[in-house]
Amino acid sequence: MTITEVETERPEGILALQTLAMPRDTNANGDIFGGRLVSQMDLAAGIATKSVAKGRSATVAIQNVSFIAPVAVGSTVGCYTKLLKKGTSSMHFQVQVWISLLVGESMRKKVADGVFVFVALDSNSKKRSLPE
């Protein structure tokens, strides 16, 4: 699907992080490289953990990341997070990445998604139980 085609799907979850795709983040094809997107997704999930863990946490696993479409320089990139599962110390967040090309335009195309697992940590960097 191209950016101009009708996108019926909508972003799921909360807009946790928004950024602009910059030339310094491009791969050999001139598009944004996957590692840059994964780091933004990780940051977005990290922000989302704050309201659940009420303190420190760390990424313990990244699951099923898919890159669905390339991201062009100049795109606005939004990372949406949704809590899928809360365990004893762990949190599973779905992260979707959507882009738009024009300022103020709604997010129009999903370009990546994945599940980020975080573990709540205590002050000794050991796992701790999540608060109720």
Q: By the criterion CB under 6 A, which residues form the site for ligand COA? A: 58-61, 87-90, 117, 119, 126-127
* Nearest residue (CB) to ligand COA, 54 versus 126: 126
Q: Minimal distance in Å, beta carbon 94 to ligand COA?
A: 14
Task: Name the residue nearer to ligand COA (CB basis): 53 or 112.
Answer: 53
Short-list 19, 58, 57, CA closest to 40: 19
Query: Closer to ligand COA at the Cβ: 15 or 61?
Result: 61
Nearer to ligand COA, 76 or 89 (CB): 89
CB 91 within 8 A of CB 117: yes
> Residue 82, exposed/middle/buried by CB under 10 A (0-12, 13-18, 19+)?
middle
Identify how many contiguous H helices and E strands the chain contains and give both numbers. 1, 5
The residue number with the shortest CB distance to ligand COA is: 87
Contact assessment for residue 62 and residue 117, using Cβ atoms and an 8 Å cutoff = yes
Closest contact distance (angstroms) between CB of 10 and ligand COA is 28
**Beta carbon of residue 78, minimum distance to ligand COA (angstroms, whole number):** 23
Cβ–Cβ under 8 Å, residues 44 and 95: yes
At its nearest, how many Å lie between ligand COA and the CB of residue 84?
12
